[in-house]
Amino acid sequence: MHTTTFLCLSVCVCVSISLRYNGLSVVYLLFLLSVPLFPSPNLASMKGKTGRFLRAICSTGVTFLALQCGMQITFTYIPKDGKISIFFPFLFLGNTSPACICKPYSATNGSKIHTSPLSSPDVLQKCIIFLTSLRLLMSSVMNTAGKVLVTVLLGLAGITFPSLTSALYFMVFLGIVWCWVLHYTISLLHFSSLCVMMTIFSGGHILILYLYQLPLIQQLIPPQDGFARLFGLTALIKTNMSEPYILALNDDGSWPAMVNPLVLLLLYFSVMSLLQKWTHLFCSHLRISLCACVLNVCTEYTVKKENCGGENEILNDTDSLSSTDVSGPSALNQLGQFIMKQSYLIALIITMVWSISYNSWLTLVLLVWSCAIWMLKDRRRFAMLSAPFLAIYGTLLLVVTFISQLHLKHIDIFPTLPKHVSYTLSFWILLRQQLKEKNEEELHTADHLMEVKVQSCINVYVSIIGDISHTSQMMVMLGALVKGILVKYWIFCCCFMFFFVSFSDKVAVFKILYICLFLFCVVLYEVHYEVWRSLLKHFWAVVVGYSMLVLILIYVYQFKSVCNLFQQILGIPEERLRDIGLEQFDTIELFAQILLPAFFLLACILQLRYFNCDFLSLTNLQMSTQNEIYLKPQLEGSYKYILSKKAVGTRNLDCWMSDSRAFFQDPDSQRPRSEQGSEMNHLRKWLVVMDRVHELTLRAVLWLWRVQELCWRILELHSFKLVSTGIIWVCVQEVSLMNLLFLVLWTFALPYSRLRPLAFNVSSVWACVIVVCKMMYQLKIIKPSEYSSNCTGLSSSNESWIGDNKAELLRNSVLYLAPVDPAMWVGGLRKCEDCILPCLWNHLLILGLLVFDVTVHRHQLHHRLQNGLKATHSSTIFQGVTHQHLDHSIIASLKYFANYFFYKFGLEVCFVVAVNVIGQRMDVCALLHSFALMAVLAQRRRKAIGEVWLKYCCFIASFMVLQYLLCIGLPPALCIDYPWRKSFAALSSNLIKWLYLPDYAMSPNSSFILYDCLLLLVASLQWQVFEDENQACVRLLAGENVEISRNLDPQTLNQYTPVSNFLHCRSYLDMVKLFVFSYFFWLVLCLIFITGTIRINIFCLGYLVACFYFMLFGGTLLLQPVQYVLRLWDCLIAYTCVVISLKNMLSLGSCVYLESLQKHGCWLIQAFSMFCTIKGYNLPKPDNQCELPEGEAGIVWDAICFTVLLAQRRVFLSYYFLYVVSDLQTSKVLASR
């Protein structure tokens, strides 16, 4: 409490001198600087110097208050509002502070005085509590790290506001740091002497700065004077002579100038407090050393007399060592040692950061030096050898920076000296570590001096090394885990950095070279894996070297002399240099431009020097094959080890439980038995819970591992489908001549599997070419305006245009809107301003999909080699599930269909997708698809359909290429319009859209090709199914996929059926089968009835007739042979296809000539429910005279009817359906009796 009140006095005096600046306040400043010189106030010190000091403060405050009052009364004019600011310091200091301080001591010496709770305000109590906690915190800091605190404060005092005055602090700071770096220990006496001198100097410095705030001193030495700026004399307060009571900050003041006095004051008080503590500590150490010397002199003779040999001495040393508690270094100490050993990495990184943060010839040396060391193989040794140079050079840069920041002309708002000090700290640490390792090497060479005590210290060493090894193993395991993660995933970080460096900001030549290197690596990875692995190290070396060259060139080009050299001597204009990437930037822009390449360089260096070798070992497929031999014995050994450990742990747990039970049931225990029993039950429950948590954790890990394996298997099976669809989607989104190659390759690679490797390799290379072309097109040297075609003159020369047609062409045609760039038609090349990534996104997606497909297959190959698994040729997700498991359970049935659903029902899926394509397009192309569908369905039998299926796939692929060519059209740069536009009888835009003709005003919708791609994909998969059906190995796993004989007799079913009877419903699976094969027929008839009644047109009449016929004769129809049933059912399917085709043909009238039909053929619209359901057509406005059947148009219900009809057809052709027919025949016979 006494020290706290003294601290409160210091705060009060500091506040008083801050509120007013004149000669009287200087006296208070002297009092403030004198506070640390006196002991803390207590009963003893109040009777001595401390009491007299406090009374002097009180008397001075009262005297100054009386003088100020007398002067105000003397003068006749008192300025308005001048009393408070003038009297307040005296009132606050002369009354409040001394009263608060002297009151406890006067109350202690005198009689007890009753004080009310309101006598001390809450605010003052809170302030005292805060100051007490602050004092305890600062005291603990100063006790533990006193010298460090003094060094840091000296450094802050020197760099906060550089001047000749603060140069002393800075030089002392550098001297102390260099003593620490050179392992030179400064004794407490010398350090205390240094602190005394710094205290005197800082106190005088504070006094000079305060005196300079007086108006008289500022008039003698103006703040703008060079002498004042040189010595750090800053005017913080601006005094107005007419209103001296108003405090105003100087306009030229900055925050470093404001903070500087506070730092000096903190330095002064901290050093004074430490000196007082060190004085007591020095005296106590002196007394202890004197006593130790006396004790040594007294015992020296006795030791020599009793211990004539060295054995007892050695034994005593060993005993003393063994008796003490020796513990190994903690994990925190080992982490600190690890960081110190890796300080060369930090120093090299800081070297690069310093050079790119501040552009100058001096920091260029650091950049070159860092790059040179990074390229060396033994970087640590050369970094340690260069530690003296870096430390000295960094210190010299600090001195130069200090001199350059002397505020002779202006004051920096953001001083850079603190950053430089933090950068140089890494160099100092590196030099200290280098000297430490050098001293350790010298100590290791002097091992002969320790040979006497080697044998006696073996036991002690063994006991110590046990603790160290335990901690070291933990650190090694943690380090191995972190390194393993970095080895796996750091290469992805480098790839992302490639993107950031190449696509950030404007495109330049050096960025194009970056992306060329990256694309070369990607293509090599996709095409030839082993060659990619062999060249990966050289690739990273080239990238590192190129990055260093780019970084140094950009850095050097910022100097004006180098810039002029490039422009004048080499004769390269500024625009070309900007395209190359050489451009002068502002300070902030320069930091952003250099920082990213520097970090990319650092990431590549780490990959090259630290992770590349382990990464190559990890991805070595041959090594995985060799490890396959040792995998099973290792797994068996690990399993036996786990079982043995579990048995030992169980025995130890039983022993511990028995001991615990004996302890809890101890009769001597004073606790009641109920409490002992409850504790035992609680312990049992806790053990059960922990065992259950452990079991659930293992199950969760195992479940996650299985889910991960399942996901990789699904990706392996379907990655090709994803890649092919994604590439065609990119071609559709960006229609150009260069993308035609992708479409041709992948449309024919889908049905012809032998073309897939060629499509894969060519697509990889071609995508890289397009990316590079698009980036080169962004250079300023390429100007599209110089070679673009201007076709606007055709609009005036062509007189055959009709007025409406001409207006539409002038409004929508790309020929007449603006000059035509031929590069857009060739490869989608266009200027992307400053953001290039959106323009490259499509083709980067192609590369990503190709890399994804390769990575998935190589991951699975690596997984099988590591785990000794055999490669499977079947496209199944769940291994071991065949057609024999189909009738076991619902789960087994679902797994079977997950494996072989498309094998069983792929043909029906293709037909449904074809109908969906027709419904989504409804144009002349959809009409051709409907004709092709009817041609395939006309084959009826599965074997006949399989014979023509490849032709159907070839038709779809060729038709897709034709449609894409129509989307590309003629080059607009030729300025030749299409004949259906420039002729006298020009076609309308709606008709052009329906006919899918190329046009500049109404271009074909390329997204329709994506529907054809989906159809081609499922058709290609079905072609693979047709080929698999001819292989015996596939039939053994998936089952027969042939149609049953159409003349089989259900009465002799048990002789030839491969399936069991499900009509007795022995399981839930049988109930599902019963619904599908017995009642699905009636559900189909219900859907046909809904299709015929939900809309009113001529086509629905056929559905109603078919529905009533099958409902009327359905019971007897099912008893007929399957051949007869299929003939009628195929007629209904054919009728549905005809309806879909006719509706597609009628879409010509509903989408193109709807306006004419509204006027002259409304009955036709109502009879056939004609309405255009496709977006993009220019339709007329609704007419009240002819209502359009908007809700009744389309082929949605026709498609649903077609789907269920195909499903029921498969039911008719199933062996399970024969059981239903047999049951119906039996029921009929029983009913007839």
Q: Torsion over CA of 965, 971, 976 and 979, rounded to 10 degrees? A: 10
**How many C-beta neighbours within 10 Å does residue 722 have?**
14
What Rg value do the Cα atoms of the chain yield, rounded? 46
Helix (H, G, I), strand (E, B) or coil at 830: coil
Helix (H, G, I), strand (E, B) or coil at 485: helix
Q: What is the pLDDT of residue 798?
A: 55
**CB-neighbour burial class of residue 108 (10 A; exposed 0-12, middle 13-18, buried 19+):** exposed
pTM: 0.77
Residue reference for tokens 């005809």:
1138
Length of the chain counted residue by residue: 1233
pLDDT (tens digit per residue) in 1163-1188? 888 888 888 988 888 888 877 788 88
Mean pLDDT of the chain: 78
Concatenating the DSSP letter of every residue in 1070-1087 gives HHHHHIIIIIHHHHHHHH
Name residue 130's amino acid: F
CA dist 1126 and 1212 (Å) reads: 8
Helix (H, G, I), strand (E, B) or coil at 680: helix
Outline where 307-342 has alpha helix (H). 311-323, 331-341
1221: which 2 tokens? 């027919």
Query: For 395-407, what is the mean pLDDT?
Result: 86
Query: 97-109 vs 2-19: helix axis angle to the nearest 10?
Result: 150
540 within 8 A of 608, measured Cβ to Cβ: yes
Q: What is the pLDDT of residue 847?
A: 95
CA dist 585 and 395 (Å) reads: 28
HEC assignment per residue over 361-418: HHHHHHHHHHHHHHHCCCHHHHHHHCHHHHHHHHHHHHHHHHHHCCCCCCCCCCCCHH
- Torsion angles phi and psi, residue 247, rounded to 5: -90, 130
pLDDT (tens digit per residue) in 932-971? 999 999 998 999 999 999 999 999 999 999 999 999 999 9
CA dist 1186 and 1165 (Å) reads: 9
pLDDT (tens digit per residue) in 208-234? 888 887 777 777 888 777 777 788 777
CA dist 828 and 767 (Å) reads: 13
Whether 104 shows a pLDDT value over 50: the answer reads no
Per the DSSP assignment, residues forming a β-bridge with 237 are 249
pLDDT (tens digit per residue) in 513-524? 999 999 999 999
CA dist 795 and 1075 (Å) reads: 68
Query: 756-776 vs 740-749: helix axis angle to the nearest 10?
Result: 160
836 within 8 A of 507, measured Cβ to Cβ: yes
Query: For 903-925, what is the mean pLDDT?
Result: 94
Query: For 224-252, what is the mean pLDDT?
Result: 71
723: which 2 tokens? 């890649």
**How many C-beta neighbours within 10 Å does residue 115 have?**
10
Half-sphere exposure in the Cβ direction for 562 (13 Å, CA)? 14
Kindly report each contact of residues 882-885 with a partner whose C-beta sits within 8 Å and lies 24 or more positions away, as own/partner: 882/1036, 882/1037, 882/1038, 882/1039, 883/1037, 883/1038, 883/1039
pLDDT (tens digit per residue) in 1074-1098? 888 888 999 999 999 999 998 888 9
Q: What is the pLDDT of residue 281?
A: 52
CA dist 567 and 590 (Å) reads: 20
CA dist 683 and 658 (Å) reads: 12
Tell me which of 90-99, 272-281, 345-354, 1057-1066 is least confident. 90-99
Residue reference for tokens 């906060």:
160
Whether 419 shows a pLDDT value over 60: the answer reads yes
CA dist 1210 and 911 (Å) reads: 13
CA dist 145 and 277 (Å) reads: 12
Q: What is the pLDDT of residue 1163?
A: 86
**How many C-beta neighbours within 10 Å does residue 1179 have?**
16
CA dist 449 and 218 (Å) reads: 69
Whether 625 shows a pLDDT value over 90: the answer reads no
CA dist 1123 and 1129 (Å) reads: 10
Residue reference for tokens 């747990």:
653
Q: How confident is the model at residue 1200 (pLDDT cuts 50, 70, 90)?
A: very high
| Highest mean pLDDT, choosing among 29-33, 304-308, 460-464 | 29-33
Longest dimension (CA), the chain: 142
Q: Torsion over CA of 612, 615, 621 and 624, rounded to 10 degrees? A: 130
